[in-house]
Amino acid sequence: MGDDTIVWLTRSQWQNAANGMACRYGDTGRLDVVEVTELGEARVCCEDGHEFLLPPPAVVKPATAGRGGILEDLGVYQALLDVFEFGEGRTEYGVIEHRFAQAHRDLYVDLVGRYHHTAIACEDPARFTVSSLLAGALGRLHAEGAVRFSDGPGTGRWSYLNPVSYWALPPVPDRPPVTWTAWAQANGIDPDTWPATEGISCRHTPS
Ligand SMILES: [Zn+2]
């Protein structure tokens, strides 16, 4: 078993990584990290005022590209890939996590127990959550070219993350994005709630 491949970067580590990156809109000024999001992504702003997300940290360390560690052992990468639909437009992170939670219930319950989830009240909530773990795994898949990363508005229960990551299988079709709110409503779910963690108790132990 290798080391865990998901790297949780602090804001200063993210800033070091961002120093070597250019604005996605082509200008060459420096990027400032505004915040590290709950999903472990960095919200950055360039000198011209463009604000956008950098993908989760796996892409920052291409030298260590390759799966391994507990996520591979648990089958997380393949389980994530299974919930994408070929030909679907850019899909908000929450849709991916919810589908994952439904399609791979035992694995999701195990991960939530291990890593905590912000939807569950916890006496000592962890900064690192199952959502940041899954987003990091998506970042790894993005670094491999297996999925595509973009950003857009967080909706419904996820609207406090703005922007939030959107994901799709390549080639990404020119179709409207699939938001959590639209997808939840189409599936009979109140988008302001997060039913995926109902009935799961947190086994997270404070470190
Ligand atoms: Zn810019």
Greater confidence (7 vs 115) lies with 115
Residue 127: DSSP 8-state: S
How many Å apart are CA 104 and CA 124, to the nearest integer? 26
On the question of pLDDT at 13 being above 60, the answer is: yes
Which H or E run contains 35? strand 31-36
Q: Which residues contact 93 (CB under 8 A, 6 or more apart)?
A: 39, 131, 135, 138, 154, 158, 161, 164, 165, 166, 167, 180
* Total domain count, the chain: 2
Domain that holds residue 122: 69-197
Cα 46 to ligand 1 centroid, rounded to whole Å: 5
Confidence of residue 58 (pLDDT cuts 50, 70, 90): low
Give the contacts of 198 (CB within 8 A, at least 6 positions apart): none
> What separation in Å is there between the alpha carbon of 34 and the centre of ligand 1?
14
For the record, the structure tokens of 130 come out as: 């199952």
d(CA 189, CA 11): 35
If asked whether residues 54 and 78 sit together in one domain, one would say: no
Instruction: At 140, list the tokens.
Output: 């790894």
Whether residue 176 contacts residue 89, with contact meaning beta carbons closer than 8 Å, is answered with yes
Pairing of strands 91-92, 148-152: unpaired
Same domain, 42 and 139: no
Residue 44 CA to ligand 1 centre (angstroms): 10
pLDDT classification of 63: cutoffs 50, 70, 90: very low
Closest by CA to 110, choosing from 143, 161, 71, is: 71
Please report the DSSP string for 60-102 in residue order. G-GGG-S--HHHHHHTHHHHHHHT--TT---EEHHHHHHHHHH
pLDDT in tens, 145-178: 899 999 999 999 999 988 999 999 999 999 999 9
Same domain, residue pair 86 and 31: no
Q: Is residue 93 part of a domain?
A: yes
Instruction: Return d(Cα 192, Cα 158) in angstroms, integer.
Output: 8
The confidence score (pLDDT) of residue 152 equals 95
* Residue 12, pLDDT score: 87
Examine the domain organization and report whether 113 and 32 are in the same domain: no
- Span from the CA of 35 to the centroid of ligand 1 (angstroms): 17
Q: What is the pLDDT of residue 207?
A: 47
Picking from 98, 99, 126, the residue whose alpha carbon sits closest to that of residue 203 is 126
Distance 24 CA to ligand 1 centre (A): 6
User: What's the rounded mean pLDDT across residues 89-98?
Assistant: 97
State whether 60 and 73 are in the same domain.
Answer: no
